């Protein structure tokens, strides 16, 4: 988990400065139905919000923890990230990921293997869910920075 925490902290420290250099291009939509880079960052805020509560709830709810799904397109639309100030989205993303770092840093060793069920598939561990969150985030960060 130390690697996950280190990577999250690196992005929290690095990404805001790198995004500032891209401010004008972040709002451009490649196609009307596709997300802009600004909306992708907003999606990462939504992912952080949902995963944060998953990481907390999995530690105390009935086992296996049933991972709640969310409609990512609806979340981006309802939050209207396209019309939100980029600095506000960056602050939100930074704050949410800082709290995820706090939760993951405090995760007791014995809770890493708690089973989590996603959509009826074979259960995965809480640690797998946390690592998957980082992989998903980094995938989209690469899209934004490309």
* Ordered structural domains, the chain, with CATH: 2-145 (1.20.120.450)
pLDDT of residue 48: 99
- Residues 77-92 pLDDT 10s: 999 999 999 999 999 9
Nearest residue to 103 (alpha-carbon basis) of 16, 25, 8: 8
- Please state the pTM of the whole predicted model: 0.95
- Residues 42-62 pLDDT 10s: 999 999 999 999 999 999 999
- Residues 12-43 pLDDT 10s: 999 999 998 888 899 999 999 999 999 999 99
| Residue 28, phi then psi, degrees to nearest 5 | -70, 130
The whole-number average pLDDT for the span 64-70 is 93
């Amino acid at each position: 988990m130390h690697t996950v925490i280190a990577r999250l902290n690196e992005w929290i420290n690095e990404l805001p400065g790198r995004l500032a250099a891209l401010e004008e291009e972040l709002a451009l939509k490649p196609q009307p139905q596709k997300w802009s880079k600004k909306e992708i960052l907003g999606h990462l805020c939504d992912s952080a919000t949902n995963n944060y509560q998953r990481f907390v709830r999995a530690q105390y709810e009935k086992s296996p923890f049933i991972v709640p799904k969310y409609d990512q397109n609806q979340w981006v639309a309802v939050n209207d990230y396209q019309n939100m100030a980029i600095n506000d989205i960056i602050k939100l993303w930074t704050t949410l990921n800082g709290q995820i770092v706090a939760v993951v840093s405090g995760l007791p060793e014995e809770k890493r293997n708690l089973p989590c069920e996603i959509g009826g598939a074979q259960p995965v561990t809480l640690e797998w869910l946390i690592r998957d969150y980082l992989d998903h985030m980094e995938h989209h960060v690469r899209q934004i920075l490309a």
